């Protein structure tokens, strides 16, 4: 089954992944996914056992919540989730994360040990693991942007499918970290990753207009380049809010009670996204929003040190 799934993953990534990479599965019961760089070659490994873990969560989710966008092709659903894992791993290379590590680098999707990594620049010297949490959020951010692509008014079902595929992975990462006894030493909380993900989704309809405005060298967005009020409401009803409830349902299916509790109500969750956009850090309520805000300044500094603009 693993070979078939990986073939499907490569098919899903056609035209999406910018890097040239080698993909393989590993017979390691403790490995989720890892990436290493050898010369100019990027090697991505996925634990064979975890392919079944992703598939099992999808199967139970579809059984309990037979939503219209899902269908019953578990192989394709599993491959879509694994595709995001690969994209996440590749972003570590694209963002230059390997270049700041002082050893032959290998980064893992879940925590396998407490952080011992040493970073040359002073900005990276954080013994509490927050620097590595920033690297993970950066890889998440760019993988999300790549996988979800540009907003379109005609592909909402496919978009929601991709969003849910990403959430499947985020929920499982936390579940595995908790089983291994790590309290987010090198990885942000699942709710923080979901907060960043849905924060991106909330803004998707405005991104094309913002890009056009920036290309013109202007500050004000032209009203006719934005979707109508009715379209934005429909997008919220059919994509944004259902994606939140997908996150809750997946956490419940996975038995991740802490994620359900930390997500909070949709009203407070999305109010926090609004507060974050306005820079109202002291008014944030939910666990994910607070950790995202705590990491924001360091994240911006790390990105600048790597030669990238702030997220």
pLDDT for 159 equals 94
Task: Tell whether 292 is covered by a domain.
Answer: yes
Task: Tell whether 234 is covered by a domain.
Answer: yes
Please tell me what DSSP assigns to residue 237: I
Task: Tell whether 274 is covered by a domain.
Answer: yes
Asked if 258 and 175 count as a contact pair (C-beta separation under 8 A), the reply is no
What are the tens digits of pLDDT across the range 271-307?
A: 999 999 999 999 999 999 999 999 999 999 888 888 8
What are the tens digits of pLDDT across the range 59-98?
A: 999 999 877 666 668 888 999 999 998 899 888 888 888 7
Distance CA 192, CA 204 (A): 19
The mean per-residue pLDDT over the stretch 27-38 comes to 72
Which range of residues forms the domain containing residue 120? 2-305
What are the tens digits of pLDDT across the range 148-167?
A: 999 999 889 999 999 999 99
Task: Provide DSSP, 24-67.
Answer: EEE--TT--EEEEEETTEEEEEEEHHHHHHHHHHHHHHHHH---
Task: Give the model's confidence band at 114: pLDDT under 50 very low, under 70 low, under 90 confident, else very high.
Answer: very low
Domains held by the chain: number: 1
pLDDT for 35 equals 77
**104 has a pLDDT exceeding 70:** no
pLDDT for 118 equals 44
The mean per-residue pLDDT over the stretch 229-233 comes to 96
Task: Tell whether 311 is covered by a domain.
Answer: no
Among residues 257, 107, 111, the alpha carbon closest in space to that of 176 is found at: 111
Q: What is the pTM of this model?
A: 0.88
Distance CA 198, CA 191 (A): 10
Distance of CA 79 to the CA centre of its chain: 16
């Amino acid at each position: 089954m693993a070979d078939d799934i990986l073939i499907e993953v490569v098919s899903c990534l056609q035209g999406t992944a910018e890097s040239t990479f080698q993909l393989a599965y590993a017979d390691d019961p403790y490995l989720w996914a890892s990436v290493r760089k050898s010369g100019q070659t990027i090697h991505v490994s996925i634990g064979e056992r975890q392919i079944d873990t992703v598939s099992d969560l999808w199967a139970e989710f579809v059984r309990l919540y037979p939503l219209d966008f899902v269908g019953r092709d578990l192989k394709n659903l599993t491959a879509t989730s694994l595709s995001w894992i690969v994209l996440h791993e590749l972003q570590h290379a694209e963002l230059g994360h390997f270049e700041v590590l002082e050893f032959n680098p290998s980064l893992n999707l879940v925590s396998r040990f407490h952080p011992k990594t040493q970073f040359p620049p002073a900005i990276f010297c954080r013994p509490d693991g927050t620097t590595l949490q920033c690297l993970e959020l950066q890889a998440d951010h760019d993988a999300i942007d790549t996988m979800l692509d540009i907003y379109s008014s005609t592909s909402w079902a496919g978009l929601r499918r991709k969003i849910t595929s990403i959430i499947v992975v985020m929920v499982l990462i936390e579940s595995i970290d908790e089983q291994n006894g790590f309290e987010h030493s090198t990885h942000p909380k699942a709710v923080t990753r979901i907060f960043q993900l849905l924060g991106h989704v909330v803004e998707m309809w405005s991104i094309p207009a913002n890009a056009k405005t920036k290309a013109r060298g202007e500050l004000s967005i032209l009203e006719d380049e934005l979707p109508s009020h009715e379209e934005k409401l429909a997008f919220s009803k059919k994509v944004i809010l259902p994606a939140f409830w997908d996150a809750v349902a997946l956490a419940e299916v996975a038995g991740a009670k802490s994620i359900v509790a930390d997500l909070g109500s949709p009203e407070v969750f999305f109010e926090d996204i609004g507060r974050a956009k306005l820079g109202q850090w002291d008014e944030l309520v939910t666990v994910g929003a607070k950790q995202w805000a705590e990491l924001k300044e360091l994240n911006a500094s790390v990105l600048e040190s790597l030669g990238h603009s702030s997220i």
